[in-house]
Amino acid sequence: MTQQEVLQEYLLRLADSDMILGQRLSELTGKAPAVEEELAVMNVALDLVGQARNWYEYAAELINDGRDADKLVFLRDAHEYRNLLMVEQPNDDYAVTMARQFFFDVWHYFTLKSLVNASDERVATIAAKAVKEATYHLRRSSEWVKRMGDGTEESHRRIQDAFNLLWRFTGELITPDEVDHAMFKAGIGPDPEQIKQDWFGMVREVAAQATLTVGEEDAWMYMGGKRGEHTEHLGHILAVMQFLPRAYPDATTW
Amino acid sequence: MTEHEPSSVDVLIASDRVPANARPELLTEDAIWALLDKVLDPEVPAVSVVELGIVRDLSWDGTHLTIDVTPTYSGCPATELIEELIAEAMRAAGIRDPQINRVLTPAWTTDWITEEGREKLRAFGIAPPEGSASKMSLLGADEVIACPLCGSTHTERLSEFGSTACKALYRCLDCREPFDYFKCI
């Protein structure tokens, strides 16, 4: 891969994770457990879709094959998606929704914080905007983890179950592959070692306050999302998300 | 975002919007800023786009106008509408084809909301952002937010998020009214 192809790949990973999590959260429209949660979840989804658009637009300019942000979102199939497996997992119990958000937010926050200093100006610009939003997301999801963990017997059990269920997808957040290494070398992506330390640092700190146990660092992990190998859930998300633009490809007004 | 090619009909309509007797060449930059200060944020119609701090710059040579606008949030759904409202206001003043640039850097911060803007927010029932965005800690204690209706600082946060991306939901424990707080970012 050329340097530019690596960057395109990396941008699609950032964009796809934002987009798929935004779409997942949107499924809670009208179904969140409380009206305040509904507002919060929709706002987080909106931030993520907005950030995804910024990454896609940059990726589309580099790819330069006539596809715009919309085409990248609506006309790629599951194996072309580069999102983390964590974000495509179902909303399930609200404790699962919040645990998923928390694991992602910690990764997202430290990644964006590092990307603010990227040698690529456009990346730094988009990250500078996004990191403010991610900070807010993390404040909220870590609060929820603490409330549930240190709450009632039932809330504790449910968030602990969620931690146990999702732990197998956390390895992908902090295990670098050749694209991550190349991006770090190019002065764009974060230092993979640093991300790993920061991620574990914060997850353990919040878990301790929440009286929750986290899994083993060397537990068996599901990987492959960044290479386009997904769990069965992504296809279903895309079926819902892409139906309209695929059925009516020439529609310009919804 | 997909742009469609302007058809002759669009061009005709766009030019029709410019009043025939307008003399845009007489407008100064200050006058254009004053016009922009009349364009209200569609989601928070208490403040103008200038008071909100989202108009970053403009250049005007008597014929060509370029305005730099920055979104409040990456996913702010009002971004396109605000750009269109600004362009519309400029056309109404006789300026043809105003160019609106969307700039992301430096990222918008609530520190750019003007003093007048903050007062208008408060009068509208929205508590303005407290403190400086640069000093906000990640997991630190929350700022004390005063109720915009009765002024009491005896308030509690109901949700980190409110009716739009830029707001959080609070409740006053004295007058019991819920209110929006313009989040500090």
Query: Domain limits of chain B?
Result: 8-102, 113-182
Residue B181, pLDDT score = 93
Q: What is the ipTM of this complex?
A: 0.78
Residue B140, pLDDT score = 58
Q: CA–CA separation, A29 vs A42, rounded Å?
A: 7
Q: What count of CB pairs under 8 Å joins A to B?
A: 86
Using a CB-CB cut-off of 8 Å, the residues of chain B touching A73 are none
The alpha carbon of B28 is separated from its chain's Cα centroid by a whole number of angstroms, namely 22
Residue B16, pLDDT score = 54
Q: Does A134 touch chain B (CB under 8 A)?
A: no
Is 3.30.300.130 the CATH number for B8-102?
yes
Whether A139 and B75 lie within 8 Å, measured CB to CB: no
Contact A225, A84 (CB under 8 A): yes
Cβ neighbour number for residue A58 with a 10 Å cutoff? 21
Query: Domain limits of chain A?
Result: 3-247
Stated pTM of the model: 0.89
Question: What does each C-alpha distance from B63 to B12, B21, B32 come to in angstroms?
Answer: 19, 15, 13
Question: Is the peptide bond preceding residue B106 cis, with omega within 30 degrees of 0?
Answer: yes
Q: CA–CA separation, B39 vs B35, rounded Å?
A: 7
B49-79 tens-digit pLDDT: 999 999 999 999 989 999 999 998 888 888 8
Q: Does B1 touch chain A (CB under 8 A)?
A: yes
Cβ neighbour number for residue A213 with a 10 Å cutoff? 12
A158-177 tens-digit pLDDT: 999 999 999 999 999 999 99
**Architecture of A3-247 per CATH?**
Up-down Bundle (1.20)
- Comparing alpha-carbon positions, the chain B residue that sits nearest to A250 is B2
Using a CB-CB cut-off of 8 Å, the residues of chain B touching A251 are none
Whether B73 and A68 lie within 8 Å, measured CB to CB: no
Q: Does B137 touch chain A (CB under 8 A)?
A: no
Residue B161, pLDDT score = 86
> Which residues of chain A fall short of a pLDDT of 70?
253-254
Half-sphere exposure of A89 (CA within 13 A, CB side): 25
> Which residues of chain B fall short of a pLDDT of 50?
1-3, 6-12
